[in-house]
């Protein structure tokens, strides 16, 4: 594993955006696994700026997102499909048909997961998978559990995840109870994994994920078994690591 510790959030975003843009420049038709949440926002802003300056071309890039809320359509402002359009896809020259997320409109979990599993196989393995960390060490929406779920599956969100994600929902709207997410095998098959974390409230998660026991109770800890992981985090997020 390679670790880059940055001074702050902005430096973390720039460093991670650099790694992603190098991937696109070296392989213009890269398959990128993408993440949502507040942490990647600075990265997407930086990538959009580099595209505007003419330094990056997304015309051949293919993307597969980690997860989506069950029950939210892509035009719903709280959906991850909407987030991706707002923060990246509408700002660069990526082809809409090359961007993929689980379909939150499908309420039948078996069907939604089967379709996204099939799509992931069709698009091919991720050249680079971007990952944020939940405060409980979750990756995608793989919540702490007795087992590592392998493929795309439907999860019931833990209370801490619901609470953490409330900030993205307008008042009066509640966070859906379930989400569709890539499983551990879908994530680990990526050739390279780029993990980002910022701030002291992620310090416990970073320490447990990278330096603790490998256990499904800390889902991200499985990343210790992947041979090409890059962690880019700021000093706050690294503050509990020895």
Report, as residue numbers or ranges, the catalytic residues.
67, 136, 138, 143
Q: Quote the CA–CA distance of 223 and 138 in Å, as a whole number.
A: 11
Residue with tokens 């993307």: 63
Site string for ligand GLP, 157-196 (x = CB under 6 A): ----x---x-------------------------------
Site string for ligand GLP, 29-58 (x = CB under 6 A): ------xxxxx-------------------
- Judged by CB, which is closer to ligand GLP: 61, or 157? 157
> CA dist 105 to 73, 113, 169, 179, Å?
5, 12, 18, 11
- Judged by CB, which is closer to ligand GLP: 94, or 233? 233
Of positions 134, 183, 219, 220, contacts ligand GLP by CB under 6 A: 134
| Tokens linked to 148 | 């590592």
Q: How many residues bind ligand GLP (CB under 6 A)?
A: 14
Antiparallel, parallel or unpaired: β 229-234 and 192-197:
parallel
HSE on the CB side for 56, CA within 13 Å? 25
Q: Is 79 in the site for ligand GLP (CB under 6 A)?
A: no
Helices H / strands E in the chain, number of each: 8, 10
Antiparallel, parallel or unpaired: β 62-65 and 99-100:
parallel
- Judged by CB, which is closer to ligand GLP: 60, or 175? 175
Of positions 12, 31, 47, 66, contacts ligand GLP by CB under 6 A: 66
SS3 (DSSP) at 186: helix
Give the residues lining the site for ligand GLP (CB under 6 A).
35-39, 66-67, 132-134, 140-141, 161, 165
């Amino acid at each position: 594993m390679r670790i880059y510790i940055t001074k702050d959030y902005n430096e973390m975003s720039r460093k991670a955006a650099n790694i992603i843009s190098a991937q696109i420049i070296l392989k213009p038709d890269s398959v990128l696994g993408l993440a949502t949440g507040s942490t990647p926002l600075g990265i997407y802003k930086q990538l959009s700026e580099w595209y505007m300056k003419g330094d990056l071309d997304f015309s051949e890039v293919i993307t597969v997102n980690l997860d989506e809320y069950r029950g939210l359509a892509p035009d719903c402002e709280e959906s991850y499909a909407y987030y991706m359009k707002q923060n990246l896809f509408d700002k660069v020259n990526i082809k809409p048909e090359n961007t993929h997320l689980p379909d939150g409109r499908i309420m039948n979990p078996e069907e939604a997961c089967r379709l996204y599993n099939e799509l992931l196989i069709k698009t091919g393995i991720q050249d680079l998978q971007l990952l944020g960390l939940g405060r409980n060490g979750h990756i995608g929406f793989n919540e702490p559990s007795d087992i590592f779920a392998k493929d795309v599956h439907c999860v019931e969100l833990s209370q801490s995840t619901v609470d953490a994600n409330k900030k993205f929902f307008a008042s009066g709207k509640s966070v859906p109870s379930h989400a569709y997410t890539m499983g551990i095998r879908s994530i680990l098959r990526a050739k390279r994994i780029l993990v980002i974390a910022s701030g002291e409230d992620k310090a416990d998660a970073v320490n447990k994920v990278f330096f603790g026991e490998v256990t499904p109770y800390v889902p991200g800890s499985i990343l210790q078994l992947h041979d090409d992981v890059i962690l880019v985090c700021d000093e706050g997020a690294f503050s509990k690591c020895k």
